Amino acid sequence: MARGSFDGLYTFSEVGQIYGIDSSCLRKKVCFDKFVVGKDIKKFGKTWLITEQAMVKHFGAEKFENFKLKRLKEDTARNKMIRDERNKIKSEKKSKNGNSMNVKEEKSVDSWINGEIKGREVKSFRF
């Protein structure tokens, strides 16, 4: 699977949520040259991005690993829910398609065999 160019990059607000700090603290660290601009962080418009490596270096790996595990569990649960919903829809389509004609045909065949329908059997048709 190809990785996007933003894989491993996080916004300051995401880092704030992960580590429980305000994003303004990160901007202050930028002002005091705690990060290397262009290597650790980069600004795109009004949004600052920080690399995963710089984040772990400055704030530690434990909270970040917990965040990644939580995100993985959420993604796994979401994917399972989507798969289950797709399978449910597929099975409903199959049952609708399978029952619409076959049930009617089966009822008429059963009725004929059980003697509920009286009449002659027609061998051929001409138009």
Low-confidence ranges of the chain (pLDDT < 50): 1-3, 100
Distance, in Å, from the CA atom of 105 to the CA atom of 101, rounded to the nearest integer, reads 6
Query: Which residue has tokens 């949520």?
Result: 17
User: Which residues partner with 61 through β-bridges?
Assistant: none
Distance, in Å, from the CA atom of 113 to the CA atom of 119, rounded to the nearest integer, reads 12
| Model confidence, pTM | 0.56
Q: What per-residue string of b and e applies to 50-78 under the rule 16 or more CB within 10 Å gives b?
A: bbeebbeeebeeeebeebeeeeeeeeeee
Fold of 1-60: Multidrug-efflux Transporter Regulator; Chain: A; Domain 2 (1.10.1660)
Distance, in Å, from the CA atom of 127 to the CA atom of 124, rounded to the nearest integer, reads 10
How does pLDDT run across 67-100, given as a tens digit for each residue? 889 989 999 999 999 998 888 887 777 665 555 4
Distance, in Å, from the CA atom of 117 to the CA atom of 106, rounded to the nearest integer, reads 13
What ranges do the domains of the chain cover? 1-60, 62-96
Q: Report the pLDDT value the prediction gives residue 109, as an integer from 0 to 100.
A: 56
Q: Report the pLDDT value the prediction gives residue 2, as an integer from 0 to 100.
A: 41
Q: Report the pLDDT value the prediction gives residue 11, as an integer from 0 to 100.
A: 92
